[in-house]
Structure 1
Amino acid sequence: MESGLISVDRWKSGSQAYFLTHMHSDHTRGLSAGWSHGPLFCSRTTASLFPSRFPGFDLSLLRVLPLSSSWQSLSLRSPSSGSPLLLHFIAIHAHHCPGSVMFIFRGDFGCFLYTGDFRWECDDAAVEEARTTLLAAVNDFPVDILYLDNTYCNPIYSFPSRLLAANLIAHLILSHPSHDIVIGVDSLGKEDLLLHLSRTLNIKIWVWPERLRTMHLLGFQDVFTTDTSLTRVRAVPRYSFSIQTLEGLNLMCPTIGIMPSGLPWLKTPFKGDANLSASLLTANNGRKPAAQQRELLLLQGAVHMFHENMYSVNYSDHSCYEEIGEFINLVKPKSMKGIVVSSSCYVDPLYYFGRVCGVSQPPELLLLRPDSREQFRAVRIKSYSTKDETINSKKEKWRKGDGRSSLRRNKKRRARIQVKCAKIAEVD
């Protein structure tokens, strides 16, 4: 597809149509109340959030897309030749956060699939309709390029379904009956988790005022409150979630913090971290032994204790490695590109799944950030940096070591190699 036709989650001028996958801030950088570069296509739920996220935005620019198997059409004009072009596209539920969608585009240029952020759990009935729509589309129009959410495109990332992780968080709360609970969340996302906790524990959930307005826009009227006297469970902005905050809260009332994320929130676990998943389920789960054993296997390592009162639970709105593989095998693209390149877990999807596209040569070998000074983990990823020719010499220096170099300076060196080209940085 030639430049100047459409943009997806990119908001600079120069395109004839713009497409928004969802309302997370890392996908709306460049959007503002005064933005007016062209028609903006998005889901109905995302459109409903515009007045609160961008007060004064010209809502006449919005084009609301249905989530159906029907293709939409848009007339464009080739920037190079001036000849008319017809773009066909469809929006499919991405199951990442409220309003999130992926787009399939087709025309004389071929067929492209842009996932945005997504979580398609293997056995989730809610995903089945979206999977059926996608399969029908790609059977008729094979995908030339897949632009993939590769946030966890690495076999070291295997975590349970969101339902199992939500149950684990509920068990964690029940195991602290005398504590207040704070849960770190973003301004959008994790609504299903909070609703599950409210139903399971039969309580309201406190949220901050801006978050409450978002909940009301999403249709959740009676579950959430801004009155701290009505509940001991509070969902707080993730940026305010810290050890210092928890220590301050514990001076007033016993409090634990829970961070739901596919990535461990901190690097160094607390010494009491061992086998937390098993102990929580054994203490609080009334399931039969066989069912409980299955959950224990799925949840092994899903909860980490990073402080006396701080926990991280593997609740993720991004697909894990196994789910990414299943998605790629469903689509069978001719080629693919990862849309996340600044994550610490970044791996080019062609390394692990290039065989689906017929790629025989693996991408280049680069070092990811090591877990410690003594241990380096090497994985093969494709570099987008102009500094690639320096990789071998830098690795050799790291191996030999430099007694005069501080640990801080070595970390900075590794960070420069690891982070190549920031496109989408937010990970949850």
Structure 2
Amino acid sequence: MSDEEEEDFKAKRRRVVPRSLVKKVWPFLGKPRRKGEAKLEEANPREPRDGKEGKENCLCPVCGISLIEVSPTLLGRQAHVNACVDKGTARSFGGACAAERVETASGREPSPRGSPPAGPRPRDLSPAVPPLHPMRGSKAAPGKGRGGGADAVPWFIQKQQAHVIRGTPGPFAVDCFGGRQSTLLAQKGTTSWFLSHFHSDHYVGLKKTFSNGQIYCTMTTAKLVHHILGVPLEAIYVLELGKPCAIQGVKVTALDANHCPGACMFLFEPAGQTPTLHTGDARLVGDKMKRMQTLSRVKGNCTLTLDTTYCSLRYNSFPSQARVIEAIANVVKAEVASNPKALVLVGSYTIGKEGVFFGIAEALGTKVYIGAKKRRVMECLDLEPRLEALVTPNDTETNIHAVPLFHTKNQKRMEAILKYYKGRYTGIIAICPTGWSLDSSAQSQSKLTQFSPQGKGRANFISCRRKGKVVTYSVPYSEHSSFEEMRSFVSWLQPKEVVPFVKVSDEEAFRQLTRSSSSSVTAIA
């Protein structure tokens, strides 16, 4: 607990829930866990550890599902019970709900959590987080979170569901290397871990000491995981794009995600189970996806775990990446022609957005300076010779510099950079390539700058802001799908279920997204 959190904990506040109810229903809420006290995922102090009575106490009183498997926390279990009560769909413990439980491949129930496996590890086909209750045609109430109303499932439960693949032994986990869910999956027996790409929010928790099984990813991602994070090669298995691979009896195919170098989607096809397409982060451009014969094979019969980063009507469409690069390159050419002593800062991620600064460098016929940290990453990308020739480690050789994306949003940082190069440059042209800029560019009036007084020929999706000697251009260069691209892909794929991989705030957009599929689609919401 941090000092700030400790102060908040000590502060006297008015309790919304009576103390007696807090202690009765949520015994761990409102107090820190003491040393020697059992962890929630290991045992509940109020529940017997053994015997039939203990198992019954761990079941949902409405639907009969094991609450231990629903969530590792008491709050998560309480949320599940509340959702069941609100829906009013009580079923007996021995009814349909119990019949839906999936047994292991040997036909026996999995051993209790914490007990060591006897002999070879069982092929446990039940997910660490069971399938959420699907809703057909539910009408969400505005202002109550995505899905809204009594049927809404808390996001942290949806997020747990999005990381696991149903019907797989363990089960398989995607982009899940940190937090309680990762620990719980490892304890349950998960040994197959999938990494869609090398962005920190997806590999968070992955360390060089990883020893929970095998990591499956593309060659580019494997190089980055090994060279940057230090994960041993023995723990990494490389998947070739488009080539099916049998993993623990499950057919798995890695497909190009059109996101950043090395990014891929995973198609899981467990025998006798509904296939699952997990997109990770992806730019689902229609023609490119429809040409994949592998995806055509599962049309109308799959679960889709979808990158819903821009699932909002405000981001209905993005211009193509090629069009954005061409437009911003023309703007930079005009700016530099007007002021040859301008320093061009192009924002990028640790991996990603490389197309923007390479496009600008090619348009100006010059090189791009890339710092040591970024160069170390790019050495793992297998760049084409023509692109390698554009990179220089000498910051004085060119006026185009690749910088972290947040630098192009920080006025003080850019002013400090200009001060560092005092006498060499008289102004800064910052390029901020992100899909989030589309909303601001549509709502703001672009202003003319001292470097382009005529203001002609600029694409209408480029927004401009001038402050002091710094001019910032924001362009919607997106490596995620726009809302229309998502809807088009869902309409073409016709999945049975749509599971959001990123929290959705626009309820109406998500309803439209799921309606674009067949009438039998089930939206996890």
Equivalent of residue 330 in structure 1, options 472, 487, 492 = 492
Equivalent of residue 324 in structure 2, options 165, 175, 183 = 165
Equivalent of residue 215 in structure 1, options 368, 371, 378 = 378
- Which runs of 5 or more structure 1 residues have no equivalent in the other structure? 76-85, 285-295, 364-381, 383-428
The 1:117/1:155 distance shift into structure 2, 3 A limit, reads: same
Q: 2: distance between equivalents of 1:262 and 1:281?
A: 26
How far did residue 174 of structure 1 move?
A: 1.1
The 1:281/1:358 distance shift into structure 2, 3 A limit, reads: farther
Deviations 1:180-205 (A, max 9, x none): 11111111001222222222221111
How far did residue 320 of structure 1 move?
A: 0.8
Equivalent of residue 302 in structure 2, options 144, 162, 169 = 144
The 1:33/1:239 distance shift into structure 2, 3 A limit, reads: farther
Q: 2: distance between equivalents of 1:348 and 1:103?
A: 28
How far did residue 136 of structure 1 move?
A: 3.2
Equivalent of residue 359 in structure 2, options 196, 200, 211 = 196
Are the aligned partners of 2:444 and 2:463 in contact in 1 as well (CA < 8 Å)? no
Question: Does 1:231 pair with 2:231?
Answer: no
Q: 1: distance between equivalents of 2:489 and 2:522?
A: 22
The 1:194/1:9 distance shift into structure 2, 3 A limit, reads: same
Equivalent of residue 67 in structure 1, options 241, 244, 257 = 241
Per mean C-alpha deviation after superposition, the further-off stretch among 262-271 and 346-355 is 262-271
Equivalent of residue 90 in structure 1, options 250, 253, 272 = 253
Are the aligned partners of 2:260 and 2:479 in contact in 1 as well (CA < 8 Å)? yes
Are the aligned partners of 1:46 and 1:99 in contact in 2 as well (CA < 8 Å)? yes
Deviations 1:44-86 (A, max 9, x none): 111121232212x221111111112x422122xxxxxxxxxx2
Who is 2:472 aligned against?
A: 310
Question: Does 1:184 pair with 2:347?
Answer: yes
Q: 2: distance between equivalents of 1:41 and 1:271?
A: 44
Aligned residue type for 1:133: Q
Q: 2: distance between equivalents of 1:51 and 1:267?
A: 39
The 1:273/1:66 distance shift into structure 2, 3 A limit, reads: same
The 1:336/1:348 distance shift into structure 2, 3 A limit, reads: farther
List aligned pairs for 1:223-302, cutoff 5 A. 223-241=390-408, 242-251=410-419, 252=422, 253-264=426-437, 273=446, 283=456, 299-302=459-462
Deviations 1:366-416 (A, max 9, x none): xxxxxxxxxxxxxxxx5xxxxxxxxxxxxxxxxxxxxxxxxxxxxxxxxxx
SS at match of 1:194: helix
- Which runs of 5 or more structure 2 residues have no equivalent in the other structure? 1-124, 128-169
Q: 2: distance between equivalents of 1:105 and 1:19?
A: 11
SS at match of 2:298: helix
Who is 1:358 aligned against?
A: 519
Are the aligned partners of 2:361 and 2:400 in contact in 1 as well (CA < 8 Å)? no
How far did residue 19 of structure 1 move?
A: 0.7
Are the aligned partners of 1:150 and 1:347 in contact in 2 as well (CA < 8 Å)? no
Equivalent of residue 114 in structure 1, options 262, 274, 278 = 278
The 1:151/1:270 distance shift into structure 2, 3 A limit, reads: closer
Are the aligned partners of 1:338 and 1:349 in contact in 2 as well (CA < 8 Å)? no
Question: Does 1:58 pair with 2:232?
Answer: yes
How far did residue 43 of structure 1 move?
A: 0.7
SS at match of 2:437: coil
Are the aligned partners of 2:218 and 2:262 in contact in 1 as well (CA < 8 Å)? yes
SS at match of 1:229: coil
SS at match of 1:196: helix
Are the aligned partners of 2:490 and 2:514 in contact in 1 as well (CA < 8 Å)? no
Deviations 1:264-301 (A, max 9, x none): 2996999861599xx999845xxxxxxxxxxx8xx533
Q: 2: distance between equivalents of 1:347 and 1:29?
A: 28
Question: Does 1:43 pair with 2:218?
Answer: yes
TM-align CA RMSD: 3.1
SS at match of 1:193: helix
* TM-score of the superposed pair, with normalisation by structure 2: 0.57
Q: 2: distance between equivalents of 1:74 and 1:112?
A: 15
SS at match of 2:335: coil
Which structure is larger by alpha-carbon Rg, 1 or 2? 2
Who is 2:99 aligned against?
A: none
Percent identity between the aligned chains?
27
How far did residue 155 of structure 1 move?
A: 2.5
Task: Count residues with an aligned counterpart.
Answer: 329
SS at match of 1:89: strand
SS at match of 2:318: coil
How far did residue 169 of structure 1 move?
A: 1.5
Q: 2: distance between equivalents of 1:330 and 1:362?
A: 16
* TM-score of the superposed pair, with normalisation by structure 1: 0.69
Who is 1:19 aligned against?
A: 194
Which one has a larger percent strand, Structure 1 or Structure 2? 1
Equivalent of residue 205 in structure 1, options 368, 390, 398 = 368
How far did residue 332 of structure 1 move?
A: 0.7
Are the aligned partners of 2:311 and 2:510 in contact in 1 as well (CA < 8 Å)? no
Q: 1: distance between equivalents of 2:209 and 2:436?
A: 35
The 1:46/1:229 distance shift into structure 2, 3 A limit, reads: same
SS at match of 1:91: strand
The 1:95/1:268 distance shift into structure 2, 3 A limit, reads: closer
The 1:346/1:208 distance shift into structure 2, 3 A limit, reads: farther
